[in-house]
Chains A and B, each alone.
Chain A
Amino acid sequence: MMGLAADWSLELEAERSRRFRKLLLYSALAHIFVISSMMLSPRPIVRPALPAVVEVQLHAALPSSAAPPPEPIPEQPKPEPPPPPVAKPKPPVPEKVVLPEEPKPLPKPKPKPKPKAKPKPVAKKPDPKPPPETEESYDDFLASLRAERAAKAPPGPPTAVARGPRGPTGPGIVLPPEVVGWMRQAKVHVTRAWVLAPNFRTLPLETEIAVRVDRSGAVRATRITRRSGNPWFDESVERAIRKASPLPPPPEAEEWSFIFRPEDLL
């Protein structure tokens, strides 16, 4: 019996050892994945949920002075946010069409809870760069950004926030400033090129289009990824993108998404 017990015990030890190695392997894989993602992506790995973003603006991401002790812009991974909201559905009835009465509040940048550090080796990795001073003014903040870029410093911490002022939920998504700047310029270009007949402005139409832009800013291809149901409206969207070409040279030659939805009601 002892022998059997001992054998069984030995088997158990071997099993434990195998499990331990397996766990070790899983842990290693997880770490490799995290590090590889960080190395291959210029942006942080863990991002807040993607809100139904409609505009892009520079944002200092500073808590108000009345807020409790200022938290730096979190660089560490945050707890997994709730799933990203689906695109805001359009009310189907005309009353949405006409001068929506409910204001669309800007999501307030609430002081974020202190993120929990994951009990994983990756958390031990030193932050790539300290966050910007939380008490500086917005202008100082921008000035420091410019100085930083002028000095050709390596990519620092995310300093711009693309924020969805109309998004119902969720904080902004952190983007590099050059991306945010380009998105704003592209928005101006495309807005200027878009013509819309007055009758479309009273309809709840929305079209999403993917636009492949090369390094020079030329529009290489367009693909409507979500149709409005009105082919003439969709064509006006395509026409606007084509007419806006060339856009300013983008930071990355890749596909960008545009959503067109008339808000100029009556």
Chain B
Amino acid sequence: MMAVLGRPGARGLRASYVPWLLAIALVASAANAQRRPPIIIENPGARAYRVAIQEFRPSRPGSESAAAAVEQAMERGLAFAALFDEVDRRAFLGPTRTPPLDRGDPVVCPNWSQIGADALIQAEIEEAGEGVRAEFKLTDVSRCVAILHKRYRITKAELNRMGHAMADDVVAAFTGQPGVSDTEVAFISTRTGAKEVHVMNADGSGVRAATKNRSLNLFPGWSPDGDAIVYTSYRYRVRPQLFLLTRGERSPGRILRNLDSSRPLYRGVFSPTGDRLAVVMSVDGAAEIFTVGRQGQALKRLTRSGAIEMSPSWSPDSRRMALVSDRTGSPQVYVMNADGSGLRRLTFNGSYNTNPSWSPDGRWIAYESRVGGQFDIWLIDPEGRTNTPLVTHSRSDEHPSWAPDGRKIAFASTRRGRSDIYVIDINGKNLRRVTNEGENTNPAWGPYRR
């Protein structure tokens, strides 16, 4: 090679080309570095974010109890999200109590990242008259940036809600979608003697009866704005009818006033837009699915098989509906357009599939499937390509209902003998029982609260 360079004909050119050659060689080297394969990270190894929570600071004397109550509620909300672990305060290198936030002291991020924290939570609570104000700050100490700085105001009676709202906002800061600790679940419970509609916070706290008619009440379902619950009641004994609970009102009222009341109405489900309901009504001895306006106007029949059609569940865009039909001899889940066209069978596994519930993101339909002698909760996509069990147990798991974030499902289970409401993440983790009294069935997870 050197001999080639030493040839008289090339000598003159060598000097002028050497810099080019070196540059080309360097580029080639850099290209080599870039051609190194990337390192692929596929499965997150950590289960939860580690958050350091500085004690909430009462910003004036007399606010101590409120500060403690809000802090505890926030911690419960974070625990319910099952996405965070709290760092033990004894490990703190920085102060254990929130400094006055209006001073604007910068967070010393290394103090927190060194103890393994991903984030730092600080809050200042001020009780003023009947109200409570809070300033809340969340810092991502890995990147050393404040990712949430927010003020809250609420009445003293709702300190729990303030803490839950803070926790839900923390979840949103990390995932883009708020947590659901400040949402409610309606369900049927026998704890007051009869099967009455009850409402509780999503974590099982704050249970209160919503009906007291000592009759048989079933199938609670929320209006999309969260201000009303439609349910089925046998209070008139002759036939089941639909009634409406409105937040704040004590006595239940009828719904669908303009609808012929001579036909039994087994169930009503608000559409996601809230202006119509899908109802299951008896026609000539068979249960069929209709849609109807909130006042009973514009009744439209969707199914005409003569078989039993029930359990309608709207898709989140209101364009489709999942339902159960026994037209082939056994109850199976079907999907159709909201005008009744395009009906197709979705489930083929097992001889009994029922209670479909369409996920808020539209990607899944949860339903219960009888396996052996008991029911399990399964997930299937609306096209029927993927069908997978979510909850299995030797005792029955029934009536799945999606949380508004699409990450959790509530269901009823008899796994400890009597029926209780449970909550589980859609990855099958973080199973949690949220009721402990009476027989509890028919959970219906409410929307985000305004």
Contacts and interface: CB of A to CB of B under 8 A. Distances in A.
Interface of A: 21, 24-25, 27-29, 31-33, 35-37, 39-41, 43, 45, 47, 50-51, 53-56, 94-95, 97-99, 121-122, 162, 164, 173, 175, 179, 183, 186-187, 190-202, 208, 230-232, 235-236, 238-240, 242-243, 252, 254-264, 266
Contacts of B45: 191-194
A238 B29 CA distance: 28
Given A28-B10, A33-B25, A266-B379, 6 more contacts: A28-B1, A28-B7, A37-B24, A54-B42, A195-B118, A199-B407
Given A33-B21, A243-B142, A259 B40 contact: yes
Q: Which of A35, A230, A239, A263 has the most CB of B within 10 A?
A: A239
A25 B9 contact: yes
A183 B37 CA distance: 10
B48 interface: yes
Contact of A53 (B24, B37, B118): B37
Nearest to B430: A198
A257 B41 contact: no
A193 to B, nearest CB: 6
B28 interface: yes
A191 to B, nearest CB: 4
A195 B25 contact: no
Contacts of A122: 1
28 contacts: A31-B1, A36-B25, A40-B28, A41-B28, A50-B37, A53-B37, A55-B40, A94-B363, A173-B35, A186-B39, A190-B41, A192-B46, A195-B48, A198-B425, A199-B177, A199-B407, A200-B175, A202-B363, A235-B140, A240-B44, A242-B143, A256-B36, A257-B39, A258-B41, A259-B38, A260-B42, A261-B40, A262-B43
A126 to B, nearest CB: 13
Nearest to A21: B9
A69 to B, nearest CB: 30
Q: Which of B26, B33, B48, B142 has the most CB of A within 10 A?
A: B142
B21 A36 contact: yes
Contacts of B381: 94-95, 98
B347 to A, nearest CB: 16
Contacts, number: 195
Q: Which of B28, B44, B407 has the most CB of A within 10 A?
A: B44
A24 B40 contact: no
A85 B206 CA distance: 57
A199 B407 CA distance: 6
Contact of A263 (B10, B42, B383): B42
Contact of A40 (B4, B26, B118): B26
A47 B407 CA distance: 45
A208 B14 CA distance: 42
Contact of B33 (A99, A164, A254): A254
Interface size classification for chain B = 35 or more
A13 B52 CA distance: 85
Contacts of B9: 21, 24-25
A256 B33 CA distance: 9
A94 B43 CA distance: 19
A10 B173 CA distance: 82
Contact of B29 (A27, A41, A162, A198): A41
Interface in B370-422: 379, 381, 383, 385-386, 388, 405-407
B7 A24 contact: yes
Q: Top 10 nearest A-B pairs by Cβ distance?
A: A53-B37, A36-B25, A54-B40, A232-B176, A257-B38, A196-B44, A21-B9, A263-B42, A98-B386, A194-B44
Given A33-B21, A43-B32, A24 B10 contact: yes
A230 B174 CA distance: 12
Given A24-B9, A243-B118, A194 B29 contact: no
Contacts of A54: 40, 42
Contacts of B83: 195, 197
B429 interface: yes
Given A197-B83, A232-B175, A25 B43 contact: no
Contacts of A95: 381, 383, 385-386
Contact of A239 (B4, B17, B28, B143): B143
Contacts of B14: 28
Nearest to A210: B38
A16 B418 CA distance: 100
A15 to B, nearest CB: 14
B427 interface: yes
B41 A194 contact: yes
Nearest to B21: A32
B207 interface: no
B238 interface: no
A58 to B, nearest CB: 14
Nearest to B35: A50
B431 interface: no
Contact of A56 (B33, B37, B174): B37
A235 B36 CA distance: 24
A33 to B, nearest CB: 6
B428 interface: yes
Q: Which of A162, A243, A256, A263 has the most CB of B within 10 A?
A: A243
A113 B405 CA distance: 55
A85 B96 CA distance: 53
Given A37-B28, A192-B45, A239 B140 contact: yes
A132 B363 CA distance: 53
B5 interface: yes
Contact of A195 (B13, B17, B38, B44): B44
A258 B142 contact: no
A51 B37 CA distance: 8
Contacts of B40: 53-55, 187, 258-259, 261
Nearest to B82: A198
A49 B383 CA distance: 38
B424 to A, nearest CB: 11
Nearest to B83: A197
Contacts of A201: 427
Given A187-B41, A194-B46, A266-B428, A121 B36 contact: no
A264 B383 CA distance: 21
B113 interface: yes
B39 A187 contact: yes
Nearest to A225: B38
